[in-house]
């Protein structure tokens, strides 16, 4: 274990921040700046795409991809973030699995509150199915709020009569908008990123007056997970959202769902983004990649140009 690395990461993310609530513009600019410091792996290529009626970023390995698709939902409290801010995570999943990933640019609050993000997630999944992708070859993955979207999109898909994807991978997912987990208090001050007040500030933008006691807003305490695909939930002990994962795992077990709860000591929220500088981040991503490779099954060997033609636009960028 890299005790020194973990201490250095903790000190880095504890840099002083402005006091009081920040505007949406300030939150988005600060998040972009922070995530721009993360290491994006070499050996990937990106292209713009459309899933449903939303933009997405297609991330592929530089060589021929292995048949299989990751539908990725970026983090950012449903208020900030984009496919670009999640590139360290999607890039690492792509290089470690060989699968392609579509990172969805779903609508953000406060301009587009609940349930806009879930509607976009469902539309994107439907678009993949309509393009001919087999659900056994699709996995949902996401971090933070995007981790919550993996579960909410599954609930929406089940409600729409769509088949479940092959698997869910969620990094430090936000799964309880009621904020009733014990770690909300026990990890206060230990978490270098979040406070209850900060989460309530952005949460109010997404909720827009809605009752958080709804399955799609708080699946860790409200959702019936019957029929859900196998799940891998990864979290760190230094985050106030830790109990979102522990309670979701317990709820999944009660529903007969295969679930792995993977908790790493002394690391912060979405520590996997620090791949390349934190050993635990690389190790966690390797475990996530192994889980995805074991769960994704495809009848083909690679994606054909015709299959991608309706989703991918012409522009392409090498990374």
* The residue to which tokens 């048949």 are assigned: 67
CB-CB contact of 56 with 83 (8 Å): yes
d(Cα 231, Cα 246) in Å, to the nearest integer?
12
269, 280, 298, 303: which is the annotated catalytic residue?
Answer: 269
d(Cα 109, Cα 15) in Å, to the nearest integer?
26
* Strand-pair category, 44-51 with 312-318: antiparallel
Report residue 259 as tokens: 């679930």
60, 119, 133, 239: which is the annotated catalytic residue?
Answer: 239
82, 103, 136, 144: which is the annotated catalytic residue?
Answer: 144
96 three-class SS: helix
CB-CB contact of 196 with 240 (8 Å): yes
Q: Which helix (H) or strand (E) holds 100?
A: strand 100-104
Report residue 110 as tokens: 């406060």
Active site residue 239: yes
Look at the alpha carbons of 251, 148, 141, 240 in this order and tell me if their dihedral is positive or negative. Answer: negative
Active site residue 269: yes
Q: How far is CA 22 from CA 82, 159, 202, in A?
A: 19, 36, 10
Catalytic residues: 144, 239, 269
């Amino acid at each position: 274990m890299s005790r020194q690395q973990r201490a250095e990461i903790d000190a880095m993310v504890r840099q002083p921040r402005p006091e009081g609530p920040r505007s949406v513009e300030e939150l988005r600019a600060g998040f972009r700046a922070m995530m721009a410091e993360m290491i994006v792996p070499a050996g990937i290529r990106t292209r713009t795409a459309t899933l449903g009626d939303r933009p997405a970023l297609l991330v592929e390995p530089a060589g021929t991809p292995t048949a299989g698709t990751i539908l990725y939902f970026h983090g950012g409290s449903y208020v900030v973030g984009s496919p670009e801010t999640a590139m360290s995570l999607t890039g690492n999943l792509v290089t470690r699995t060989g699968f392609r990933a579509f990172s969805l640019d779903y609508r953000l609050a406060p301009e587009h509150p609940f349930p806009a993000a879930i509607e976009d997630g469902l539309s994107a999944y439907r678009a993949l199915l309509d393009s001919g992708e087999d659900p056994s070859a699709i996995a949902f993955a996401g971090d933070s709020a995007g981790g919550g979207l993996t579960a909410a999109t599954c609930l929406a898909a089940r409600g729409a009569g769509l088949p479940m994807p092959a698997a869910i991978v969620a990094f430090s997912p936000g799964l309880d908008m009621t904020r009733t987990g014990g770690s909300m208090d026990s990890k206060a001050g230990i978490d270098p990123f979040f406070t209850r007040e900060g989460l309530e500030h952005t949460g109010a933008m997404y909720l827009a007056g809605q009752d958080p006691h709804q399955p799609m807003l708080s699946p860790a305490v409200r959702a019936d997970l019957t029929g859900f695909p196998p799940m891998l939930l990864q979290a760190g002990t230094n985050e106030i959202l830790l109990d979102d994962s522990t309670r979701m795992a317990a709820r999944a077990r009660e529903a007969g769902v295969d679930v792995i709860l993977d908790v790493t000591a002394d690391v912060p929220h979405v520590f996997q983004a620090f791949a390349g500088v934190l050993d635990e981040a690389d190790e966690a991503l390797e475990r996530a990649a192994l889980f995805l490779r074991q769960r994704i099954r495809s009848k083909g060997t690679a994606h054909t140009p015709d299959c991608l033609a309706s989703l991918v636009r012409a522009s392409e960028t090498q990374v």
